[in-house]
Structure 1
Amino acid sequence: MDVYSEEEKTEDYLFKIVLIGDSAVGKSNLLARFARDEFYPNSKSTIGVEFQTQKMNINGKEVKAQIWDTAGQERFRAVTSAYYRGAVGALLVYDISRRQTFDSVGKWLNELHTHSDMNVVTILIGNKTDLKDAREVSTDEGKDLAEAQGLFFMETSALDSSNVTAAFQTVVREIYNILSRKVMSNEFKQDARSMGNGKTVVLQGDDPNLEGNNPDPKNGGGCC
Structure 2
Amino acid sequence: MAGPRKGPGGAEEPPPLLVKIVMAGESCVGKTSIVRRYTEPDSPPAGTPATSYLATIGIDFKVKLVMFNDTRVKLQIWDTAGQERFHTLSTSYFRGAQGFVLVYDITNLKSFQSITMWMQDIYEKAGDEVDVILLGNKCDKESERVVPKQKGEKIAWEYGIPFFETSAKDNVNIEHAFSLLTKEILEKKSCVLYDLDVVTLNESKKRTCCAF
Q: Which amino acid aligns with 1:88?
A: Q
Q: Which amino acid aligns with 2:165?
A: E
In the alignment, which residue of structure 1 is the partner of 2:26? 22
Percent of pairs identical after alignment? 32
TM-score, length-scaled by structure 2: 0.84
Measured in 1, the distance between the counterparts of 2:13 and 2:195 equals 22
In the alignment, which residue of structure 1 is the partner of 2:53? 43
SS at match of 2:98: strand
Higher deviation after alignment, 125-134 or 112-121: 112-121
In the alignment, which residue of structure 1 is the partner of 2:128? 118
TM-score, length-scaled by structure 1: 0.80
Tell me the matched-pair count.
192
Following superposition, the deviation at residue 11 of structure 1 comes to 5.5
Following superposition, the deviation at residue 49 of structure 1 comes to 2.3
Q: Is the 8 A contact 2:25 2:118 kept in 1?
A: yes
Following superposition, the deviation at residue 78 of structure 1 comes to 2.2
Name the structure where helix makes up a greater proportion of residues: 2
In the alignment, which residue of structure 1 is the partner of 2:68? 58
Measured in 1, the distance between the counterparts of 2:121 and 2:201 equals 39
Measured in 2, the distance between the counterparts of 1:36 and 1:79 equals 28
Measured in 2, the distance between the counterparts of 1:182 and 1:107 equals 29
Change (3 A) 1:73 1:163: closer
Unaligned residue ranges in structure 2 (runs of 5+): 1-10
Following superposition, the deviation at residue 75 of structure 1 comes to 4.1
Unaligned residue ranges in structure 1 (runs of 5+): 1-6, 200-224
Asked whether 1:198 is paired with 2:204, we answer no
Write the deviation string for residues 85-110 of structure 1: whole angstroms up to 9, x where unpaired. Answer: 21110000000111111111001111
Following superposition, the deviation at residue 190 of structure 1 comes to 1.2
- Over aligned residue pairs, what C-alpha RMSD do you find? 1.8
SS at match of 1:90: strand
Higher deviation after alignment, 38-47 or 92-101: 38-47
Measured in 2, the distance between the counterparts of 1:56 and 1:173 equals 11
Measured in 2, the distance between the counterparts of 1:156 and 1:121 equals 19
Measured in 2, the distance between the counterparts of 1:114 and 1:121 equals 14
